[in-house]
Amino acid sequence: MATAPLTTKPTPERMFNTLNAFQTTAALKTAIEMDLFTAISEGADQPATLAKRIGAAERGARILADYLTVHGFLTKEDGVYALTPDSAFFLDRKSPAYLGSMIGFLATDRHKQTFEHLTEAVRKGGSVLPEADNTKAQDEVWVSFAKSMAPITAPSAAFMAQFAGMSEQKPCKILDVAASHGMFGITFAKQNPNARIVALDWPAVLEVAKENARAAGVADRISFLPGSVFEADLGADYDFVLLTNILHHFDKSTIGKLLSRIHAALKPSGRVITLEFVPNEDRISPPTAAAFSLIMLTGTDAGDAYTFAEYDAMFRNAGFGKSTLHQVPTGPQQLVVSEKS
Amino acid sequence: MATAPLTTKPTPERMFNTLNAFQTTAALKTAIEMDLFTAISEGADQPATLAKRIGAAERGARILADYLTVHGFLTKEDGVYALTPDSAFFLDRKSPAYLGSMIGFLATDRHKQTFEHLTEAVRKGGSVLPEADNTKAQDEVWVSFAKSMAPITAPSAAFMAQFAGMSEQKPCKILDVAASHGMFGITFAKQNPNARIVALDWPAVLEVAKENARAAGVADRISFLPGSVFEADLGADYDFVLLTNILHHFDKSTIGKLLSRIHAALKPSGRVITLEFVPNEDRISPPTAAAFSLIMLTGTDAGDAYTFAEYDAMFRNAGFGKSTLHQVPTGPQQLVVSEKS
């Protein structure tokens, strides 16, 4: 039997695998499209039965399932595939935590084309795309995002609402900035029947949030504010402002303007909860937060995955007290919590 | 400081990272294109100096280098980047083992487009490309391969020549099938001044091999046989036939025809040395060999990463004795050695 090499000599395997890494994206996307994980969970767990179930050739089903096993999405014992715990939780369509809709935003042609221009982006120091200025409405991108990415927010939204004490059910007023699918505000509203939410986003995007709010039965406590956080009349006296995955799109000066407007809209001692990819000071850990920076290089004019020290400084400059950093236990993101002083 | 989550709850991080994995391919390709590794090895090891040296914006250089650090190609200490041992060996242009030319074949637009059709290939059980029949000449693809992939063959070619006893310098006659860049035959000829090589490939591809043979000073002992292994007059009385990365393109029946022709061309007790991606019987290990199968699904009509048992059976059916399997110590591939009985 062949075995992995035991040598410690240099090996080109990492280079080879990285130049082939785009294939893992394609394989997972195809598996989700074909609902392979659901099929296996329902017993179509060998190449012949799996092929029949997902409408594939047996060779195709076998090679794809083996590949997904190599990459940790399946297990295989005596020729029988099974889901890993993560795959069962996130990739079986019957799971309440199903995340397959993510392929409507991640790994789309648009994203991949962005990375076709990475060399130019590194030279320029920013995106070479015409639509990289995220202070302008980009309906196509952000409607896709709103429709695709709601499920992945559920654990962090639940953690944030709990963190903000929503279970105490005190009356409060919350501004959900760049609300997208609306799931952050909706989760706060569900945990706290006395919470009132203002959801801010571009008009086309808010249609997705409205639909989700109605489905969640909280539409009567959410008002919808169409427009830009840089220009809209945000209202006042908020207890909380939610800044979820918005600040990374901008440079520090633009973030400063945004935070000043937020500061003005909060009541005294009101808090901002920022959900972000926050790398450590070394900018190389934790891996997912640190790696996120490259997406900002290719997709924005001057955005970044900022460190906690950078966020803390930006918030202080805008009039907030010292911020605190909190790991979201279920995912790769972090919370920065900042109080109006 | 933020730290990685300590929870063992399900996490979507693998899915998220896999849907983003195409970005690691782009990052490595860009770094090679910009010669970032050579720059760092020569002391341009911080964002500002690195940016200047590779013609990048500082933001671009910093984000790309951090990303490459996250993915194990660089180290970073106190803001200073350095090459890992593998990167110094394979990605510094001054290294004799430099492999950067691989981006002329791996991760090219053609390869990436192939994977755009993965779902269709899984349905069909084979490539949906018109040029997937590898019994026909595909000059554009295989000339690119020959020009790009020679360096990665050096360690396995050296191991194969040593394995075949070339250092004993006995007179022998070797057929190098699908010779491509010619580096396998050339390496045998360099180790053994009494070896004579016949290099077989399509005419346009052989031009690359001829150039390499001249540069290596062994052109006088290599003859060039243009054509198809399925049709050409292969000659006779070979001591060795080299089948390097060719069999995986075909189905078992086609391989059978090929091996019968090879069997006829060998002298009694002559040996075939096959260099291949040979997964274990489980088809999910070793990872690189097992994962290779997906490339054959998208790029060929019916090729595969065959197991050793499958190769052994195919060789026996063609008249060979029992084959043996050997791990190439420096890389992800294996040798199957088969003797004419």
Strand positions, DSSP E, A202-339 = 222-226, 238-244, 266-276, 324-327, 334-339
Return left, alpha or beta for B98; rule: phi > 0 is left, psi -120 to 50 is alpha, else beta.
Answer: beta
- Provide, as residue numbers in chain B, all residues whose Cβ is less than 8 Å from the Cβ of A328: 5
Give me the pLDDT at residue A331, please.
76
Q: Report whether B85 contacts B92 (CB < 8 A).
A: no
- Provide, as residue numbers in chain A, all residues whose Cβ is less than 8 Å from the Cβ of B12: 86, 90, 99, 152, 331
Q: Is the pLDDT at B54 greater than 90, yes or no?
A: yes
Rounded mean pLDDT of B241-270?
Answer: 97
Beta carbons within 8 Å of B40's beta carbon, 6+ residues apart: B50, B65, B74, B81, B82, B83
% residues pLDDT > 70 (chain B): 98
Q: Give pTM, 2 decimals.
A: 0.92
Confidence of residue B8 (pLDDT cuts 50, 70, 90): low
**pLDDT tens column, B303-314:** 999 999 999 999
Nearest to A68 by CA among B290, B162, B69: B290
Q: Is the pLDDT at A5 greater than 60, yes or no?
A: no
Rounded mean pLDDT of B187-202?
Answer: 98
Q: Is the pLDDT at A189 greater than 80, yes or no?
A: yes
Q: Is the pLDDT at B7 greater than 70, yes or no?
A: no
- Provide, as residue numbers in chain A, all residues whose Cβ is less than 8 Å from the Cβ of B295: 20, 23
List all residues of chain B from 162 to 201 with a beta carbon under 8 Å from chain A: none
Q: Is the pLDDT at A2 greater than 80, yes or no?
A: no
Q: How far is A223 from chain B (nearest CA, A)?
A: 31
Give me the pLDDT at residue B13, please.
86
Give me the pLDDT at residue A107, please.
87
Q: Give the mean pLDDT of chain A.
A: 94
List all residues of chain B from 64 to 93 with a beta carbon under 8 Å from chain A: 64, 66-67, 69-73, 76, 85-86, 89-91
- Taking the Cβ of residue A313 and every Cβ of chain B, the question of whether any pair is shorter than 8 Å is answered with no
Q: Do B5 and A328 touch (CB under 8 A)?
A: yes
Q: Is the pLDDT at B197 greater than 50, yes or no?
A: yes
List all residues of chain B from 32 to 61 with a beta carbon under 8 Å from chain A: 33-34, 54-61
Q: Is the pLDDT at A334 greater than 50, yes or no?
A: yes
**pLDDT tens column, A208-266:** 999 999 999 999 999 999 999 999 999 999 999 999 999 999 999 999 999 999 999 99
**pLDDT tens column, A60-80:** 999 999 999 999 999 999 999
Confidence of residue B129 (pLDDT cuts 50, 70, 90): confident
ipTM value: 0.93
Q: What does R_g of chain A's alpha carbons equal in angstroms?
A: 22
How many helices (H) and strands (E) are present in chain B, helices listed first?
A: 15, 9
Nearest to B55 by CA among A35, A121, A147, A184: A121
